[in-house]
Chain A
Amino acid sequence: MKINLKIWRQTDAGSPGRLVDYELDHVIPHMSFLEMMDTLNEQLILSGERPVEFDHDCREGICGQCGMMINGRAHGPIPHLTTCQLHMREFKDGDTIYVEPFRGKAFPVKRDLRVDRSAFDRIIMAGGFVSVNTGQAPEANGIPISHEQAESAFDSAACIGCGACVATCKNSSAALFTAAKIAHLAKLPQGKIESRKRVLSMVEQMDIEAFGHCTNTEACEVECPQDISVLNIARMNWEYTLSKVLK
């Protein structure tokens, strides 16, 4: 099939960007979106143009790198899907597709579709861990954790740090990402002990990084490839209030 592309090109954070038109004639419906982009890049290189820089690695929906806005939606038209898992069969012959980088003040563009998401790492650095030393942990079955509790912790722990929640949020809030980690650790006895301190410092770090506030639009959950629930945000707010009150 034939596809028209309008792709955001930008040399670096300091330069202005613009949409550039490209045309691809032989797109196969079974191709993934990134394989379509590979085909375009092959064409560009051979014609002496710079290929489009985009982030990706695993191409199986788990590393969290392949974020881009496709027709205005983070990771494209299908809910709960990463870009690498999107296939061209979701588009029609002759379609025009807009491809832009993830938006958000805290995610500056590095080049073309690549953005800097290191703010997420700094949020984790602010307390998104259990303070355990390596080498001498106690017997794993020493503290039973109910099946339901472990599964629920997993639901939160599954976040891949892709940033779609931020990109899709009208406030560029990192609430879903941060809440997922806070909830994951708070739901387990191992992480519970530090949860009050953790929630305060991680929320503070979100503000330092210039992410916006959460106003409960719930757009994040729709785009999240891991289907992380906004209930995590409720849990974070509860932990936060509790920590403030008991501080």
Chain B
Amino acid sequence: MELNAKIPPGPLKDKWSFYKDHARLVNPANRKKLEVIVVGTGLAGSAAAASLAEMGYKVKSFCFQDSARRAHSVAAQGGVNAAKNYKNDGDSVYRMFYDTIKGGDFRSREANVYRLAECSAQLIDQAVAQGVPFGREYGGYLNNRSFGGVQVSRTFYARGQTGQQLLLGAYQALMRQAAAKTVTLYTRHEMLDLVLVDGKARGIIVRNLDTGEIERHSANTVILATGGFGKIYYLSTLAMGCNASAIWRAHKKGAFMACPSWTQVHPTSLPQSGDYQSKLTLMSESLRNDGRIWVPLKPEEKRKPNDIPEDERDYYLERRYPAFGNLAPRDISSRAAKERIDAGFGVGPQLNAVYLDFSKAIKEQGKEKIKEKYGNLFAMYRKITDTDAYSEPMMISPAAHFSMGGLWVDYELMTTIPGLFALGEANFADHGANRLGANSLLQACVDGYFVAPYTVSNYLAGEIHAEKLDADAQEFIDAEVRVRAHLGKLLAINGTKTADHYHKTLGKLLYDYCGLSRSREGLVYAIKEIKKLREDFYEHLKVPGTEEEMNGELEKAGRISDYLEVAELMCQDALTREESCGAHFREEYQTPEGEALRNDEAFCFVSAWQWQGEDKEERLVPEPLHFENVELTVRSYK
């Protein structure tokens, strides 16, 4: 199968307009006959569900939390990008497009990225209209700041809780539609399988997590907006419930997975302090605007940070990347931290952290100003570590964070299964091999508010005469049988190890061999170990209770059974890409100075993977990337 990205014709800047001008429309009278399933109520899912419902489609919205408002988008702190050029510092749609393409290490599609930049201004307008209280200047106009990887100020923020405020805007839009009865909400429902009829996505199987009931839902199209799977590393910045199950089960039904090994490691997380730990907390990257990152010049330094004089500190980012300094992109900053930590200069009880120091900024701007900008982050730091970061530096460390990989989608955000769309972090699009800060909230929102309404309608225009499907069709019955069998299998093992045990073991393996740096040898080893772990899982897992009731352990076990398969594909993907790019650093491919060495000759493509069946190797289908508007340069932040 050849992959067709369906990029519209014409010059880059006119492609999206061209698409919109030519997309097919659905008559309002027909819209109410068409049903749409949206899985996920994060920014991508809520925005899509609200927008499509408002257009008149019948929408069913699903999430596993107890309220749509709690989707993981709520946790994003730093901000959202938009090329508004309010600061008159030379920003433009083209510049944002260029920064994003370069930030992604030239491994994303020009047309998608351009559209992202183009729609960004509109998103700020939309959010303000919904009542999102973005930061304002004293004159009453919107304020913004700069974020890692760019030299202009284009990041809009609502204190350190931008994701929360954007999500509340989208959630409120969704609740408005729910009140109007154009959306039916199914909270505490987890999608466990996708149903295809005649090769098209026509429904899902879900489990009601409060009662254990299995339900079948049919529709004319299915949209997955189920977020990222960075939690596969166990210790990550993600919420406990984040998972890959929905996209993985769609993958096994024919949707290609793209670039699964590209996981962003975030440089400013709190370090791990012990084995009992369940997650790592992110400190917003915006802190790098005023905080300076350093480690002691002497290895295993015992002195307190404030007792180490200036000339015995190594501001390694400022030293190595003078042009961007502390604002170097995430992949570069994370790797530089790992390099110092591995070389023995790490700080903290576990020697696994670096300092993020505000003393200079406090001296120059005053404590009050810093408090106003980052007060809640300092408060959060205090709550977790019991330390006052106004008087001594914070300790930070890299942590798994964002999945650049996900379901392969074309320009319309449709997967390789007709009628199945993937939005937001669940798809692979737009970020290439590395995501710039504040582009993810943007992508999730743009996908949901501005892209899906056109592309999903374009698809549905061809489905007006599709037969009405009821959920008793044989395909639904078969899918339900398989779902029940899988749940039954997990419960029947009745072994001696908990689901968390497997998750932790898998996470550690991935961290060590498919994390910040990878090597052929390590990946080959990891694949072998993952296979063994998977066998062990099906022999020794213990899940108490039954299927017909609320059962948190059964939920976990289901997600981990999928993670154990995703992990292998991640390593496989990393193994085949014999170059270093963005978040993917293959030790064999680096410059003498230790910087990533890309290979455009051989690897300028998206790795899409096709499922071949249980116990069969997945098939690699490359989608070549064509660059007509930018020159592939070496990414330098020096």
- B515-569: which residues lie under 8 A (CB-CB) from chain A? 542, 544-545, 549-550, 552-553
Q: B413-449 interface mask toward A, CB cutoff 8 Å, 1 = contact, 0 = none?
A: 0000000000000000000000000000000000001
Residues of A near B172 (CB, < 8 A) are 124, 128-130
User: Once the chains bind, are A118 and B173 in contact (CB under 8 Å)?
Assistant: no
Given A64-B70, A116-B66, A134-B47, check contact A81 B276 (CB 8 Å): no
C-alpha gap A117/B496 in the complex (Å): 35
Stretch of B126-134, B214-222, B400-408 at the chain-chain interface: B126-134
A158 contacts the other chain (CB 8 A):
yes
> Which residue, A45, A46, A65, A147, has most C-beta atoms of chain B within 10 A?
A45
B493 vs chain A, min Cβ distance (A): 13
Chain B residues with CB under 8 A of A59:
239-240, 278-279, 281
Other-chain residue from A53, A117, A146 in contact with B552 (beta carbon distance below 8 A): A53
Binary A-proximity of B269-307 (CB < 8 A = 1, otherwise 0): 000011011110110000000000000000000000000
Chain B min CB distance to A171 (Å): 23
| Nearest opposing residue in chain A for B448, CB measure | A134
A115-130 contacts to B (CB < 8 Å): 116-118, 120-121, 124-130
The docked-state distance in angstroms from the alpha carbon of A1 to that of B206 is 42
Q: How many residues of A contact B (CB 8 A)?
A: 77
* Contact (Cβ within 8 A) B383 A110: no
Quote the shortest CB–CB distance from B500 to chain A (angstroms). 7
- Kindly identify which residue among B131, B138, B210 contacts A110, using a CB–CB cutoff of 8 Å: B210
In the complex, identify which listed stretch (A91-99, A182-190, A209-217, A236-244) lies at the interface while the others stay far away: A182-190
Complex: A34 Cα to B175 Cα, angstroms: 30
Complex contact B450–A135 (CB within 8 A) = yes
Q: Is B133 a contact of A134 with CB atoms below 8 Å?
A: no
Residue of B nearest to A55 (CB): B66
Q: B594 CB to closest chain A CB, in angstroms?
A: 33
Which chain B residues in 56-72 approach chain A with CB under 8 Å? Answer: 65-70, 72
Please name all residues of chain A whose beta carbon is closer than 8 Å to the beta carbon of B553 when the two chains form the complex.
45, 51
Q: Are A62 and B544 in contact (CB under 8 A)?
A: no
CB-defined contacts of A89 to chain B, threshold 8 Å = 386
A57 vs B496: C-alpha distance when bound (angstroms)? 26
Tell me the complex Cα distance, A201–B501, Å.
49
Of the candidates B51, B138, B164, the one having the most CB atoms from chain A within 10 angstroms of its own CB is: B164
Report the separation of the CA atoms of residues A30 and B141 in the bound assembly, to the nearest whole angstrom.
Answer: 43
B70 near A57: Cβ-Cβ < 8 Å = yes
Other-chain contact of A134, B75, B134, B173, B185 (Cβ < 8 Å): B173
Q: Please, how many angstroms separate the alpha-carbon atoms of A99 and B124 in the complex?
A: 43
CA distance A124 to B169 in the complex (A): 12
- A45→B70 contact, CB < 8 A: no
Q: Which residue of chain B is the closest to A78 with respect to CB atoms?
A: B383
- CB-CB under 8 A from B161, the residues of chain A are 62, 158
CA distance A91 to B51 in the complex (A): 48
Are B175 and A57 within 8 A (Cβ)?
no
Pairwise interchain contact A139-B125, C-beta atoms closer than 8 A: yes
Known: A120-B67, A134-B54. A46 touches B498 (CB 8 A): yes
Asked whether any CB of chain B lies closer than 8 Å to the CB of A111, the reply is yes
CB-CB under 8 A from A16, the residues of chain B are none
246-286 of chain B: CB within 8 A of chain A: 273-274, 276-279, 281-282
Shortest Cβ distance from A110 into chain B, in angstroms?
A: 6
Q: Which residues of A sit under 8 angstroms from B142, Cβ to Cβ?
A: 140-141
Nearest residue (CB) in A for B282 is: A60
Q: Does A19 contact B (CB under 8 A)?
A: no
Q: CB-nearest residue of chain A relative to B552? A: A53
Is the C-beta of B489 less than 8 angstroms from some C-beta in chain A? Answer: no
Q: How far is the CA of A53 from the CA of B544 in the complex (A)?
A: 12
Question: Which of A53, A134, A139 contacts B51 (CB under 8 A)?
Answer: A134
> Which residues of A sit under 8 angstroms from B185, Cβ to Cβ?
121
Inter-chain contact B124/A184, CB cutoff 8 Å? no
Chain B residue numbers with a CB within 8 Å of A135 are 51, 122, 126, 449-450, 453
Please tell me if B140 contacts chain A, counting CB pairs below 8 Å. Answer: yes
Residue in B67, B72, B124, B178 with the greatest tally of chain A CB atoms within 10 Å? B67
- Minimum Cβ distance to chain A for residue B98 (Å): 24
Complex Cα distance A114/B67, Å?
13
Tell whether B86 is near chain A: CB-to-CB under 8 Å. Answer: yes
What separation, in Å, do the CA atoms of A145 and B132 have in the docked complex?
12
Taking a contact as CB atoms under 8 Å apart, the answer to whether A140 and B66 are in contact is no
Pairwise interchain contact A35-B75, C-beta atoms closer than 8 A = no
Contact among B239, B274, B380, B498 with A63 in the assembled complex (CB-CB below 8 Å): B239
Asked if A246 is at the interface (CB within 8 A of a chain B CB), the reply is: no
Chain A contacts of B135 at CB under 8 A? 150
A137 & B140 in contact (Cβ 8 Å cutoff): no
Given contact pairs A134-B50, A147-B136, A49 touches B544 in the complex (Cβ within 8 A): yes
Per a CB cutoff under 8 Å, which of B70, B158, B278, B550 touches A111? B550
A28–B276 contact, CB under 8 A? yes
In the complex, what residues of A have CB within 8 A of residue B239's CB? 57-59, 63
Q: Which of B137, B168, B279 touches A157 (beta carbons < 8 Å)?
A: B168
Write the nearest CB–CB distance from A183 to chain B, whole angstroms.
11
Q: Nearest-CB distance from B444 to chain A (Å)?
A: 14
From the candidates A39, A121, A146, A190, name the one contacting B140 in the complex (CB within 8 A).
Answer: A146
**A42 beta carbon closer than 8 Å to chain B:** yes
Q: Residue-by-residue, is A141-165 near B (CB-CB < 8 Å gives 1, otherwise 0)?
A: 1011111011101100110110000
Q: Mark A189-206, 1 if CB is under 8 A from B, else 0.
A: 011000000000000000
A63 touches B75 (CB 8 A): yes
| Given known contacts A85-B383, A158-B161, A42 and B498 CB-to-CB distance under 8 angstroms | yes
Q: Does A50 contact B (CB under 8 A)?
A: yes
- If A124-B175, A135-B449, A150-B136 touch, whether A65 touches B70 (CB-CB below 8 Å) is yes
Q: How far is the CA of A229 from the CA of B623 in the complex (A)?
A: 54
B 25-82 contacts with A by CB, 8 A: 47, 50-51, 54, 65-70, 72, 74-75
List the B residue with the shortest CB-CB distance to A146. B140
- Are A35 and B278 within 8 A (Cβ)? yes
Q: Encode contact with A along B8-39: 1 for CB under 8 Å, 0 otherwise.
A: 00000000000000000000000000000000
A14 within 8 A of B: no
Residues in B lying within 8 Å of A, measured CB to CB: 47, 50-51, 54, 65-70, 72, 74-75, 84, 86, 122, 124-131, 133-142, 158-159, 161, 164-165, 168, 171-173, 175-176, 178-179, 185, 187, 210, 239-241, 273-274, 276-279, 281-282, 380, 383-384, 386, 449-450, 453, 496, 498, 500, 542, 544-545, 549-550, 552-553
Other CB < 8 Å A-B pairs besides A12-B550, A129-B176, 16 of them? A30-B274, A57-B240, A60-B282, A118-B187, A121-B185, A130-B172, A134-B54, A140-B127, A140-B134, A141-B86, A146-B140, A153-B131, A154-B165, A161-B69, A161-B70, A184-B133
| A interface list, Cβ under 8 A from B | 12, 28, 30-32, 34-35, 38-39, 42, 44-46, 48-51, 53, 55-65, 81, 85, 87, 89, 110-111, 114, 116-118, 120-121, 124-135, 137-141, 143-147, 149-151, 153-154, 157-158, 160-161, 184-185, 188, 190-191
17 A-B pairs within 8 Å (CB atoms) are namely: A28-B274, A30-B273, A35-B278, A42-B498, A45-B498, A46-B542, A51-B552, A63-B74, A64-B70, A85-B380, A129-B130, A133-B54, A140-B125, A143-B128, A145-B136, A147-B137, A158-B164
